[in-house]
Amino acid sequence: MSFTLALVGRPNVGKSTLFNRLVGRKLALVDDQPGVTRDLREGEGRLGDLRFTVIDTAGLEEATDDSLQGRMRRLTERAVDMADVCLFMIDARAGVLPADEVFADILRKRSAHVILAANKGEGAAADSGVLEAYSLGLGDPLRLSAEHGEGMGELLEMLAPIA
């Protein structure tokens, strides 16, 4: 049995970085500049013995403040509906921002199976953001560093029962 994992969350939390790590190829563009990745991107993910489909949500980077919420909602809902499980990512260095709360609401209303991840979790600069993540009410955050490959064993443990 395989499953589909959707990576969701506001721009710049590290979704494409994690997508690239899971897929093992540079299928998703990662950039510090906004406007680089678009819409939904699908790849074959691997983690330990697991093989699964992974969806990267993008396409929000160019949105203006006015259109951001609507586009964010539509894209995220599409990804959630395609997925068996959503990895909802926040940036632990930035802490919980209002945009993160919007995503948390979308996921709650969709009653999706959600794993909350506090990414950019390497180092002490992430400590307070990881604690803030508990306030989202989506369970214990998984501390990750997509860039440095930290927390991948714990992610595997959480995904294994779904497979």
| 82/163 with CB nearer Mg ion | 82
Q: Any known ligand binding at 58?
A: yes
Give the H/E segment covering residue 5: strand 4-8
Contact 86, 8 (CB under 8 A): yes
> Nearest approach, Cβ of 58 to ligand GDP (angstroms)?
6
Contact 2, 52 (CB under 8 A): yes
Q: Which two tokens stand for residue 132?
A: 């803030």
| 17/112 with CB nearer ligand GDP | 17
Which residues contact ligand GDP (rule: CB under 6 A)? 11-17, 30, 32, 119-120, 122, 145-148
| 16/76 with CB nearer Mg ion | 16
Q: Beginning with the edge strand found earlier in the chain, give each strand of the sheet holding 40-47 in spatial order.
A: 40-47, 50-57, 4-8, 85-91, 114-119, 142-143
Q: Any known ligand binding at 16?
A: yes
**145 binds, options Mg ion, ligand GDP, none, Cβ within 5 to 8 A by partner type:** ligand GDP
Q: Any known ligand binding at 9?
A: yes
- Binding residue ranges: 9-16, 56-60, 119-122
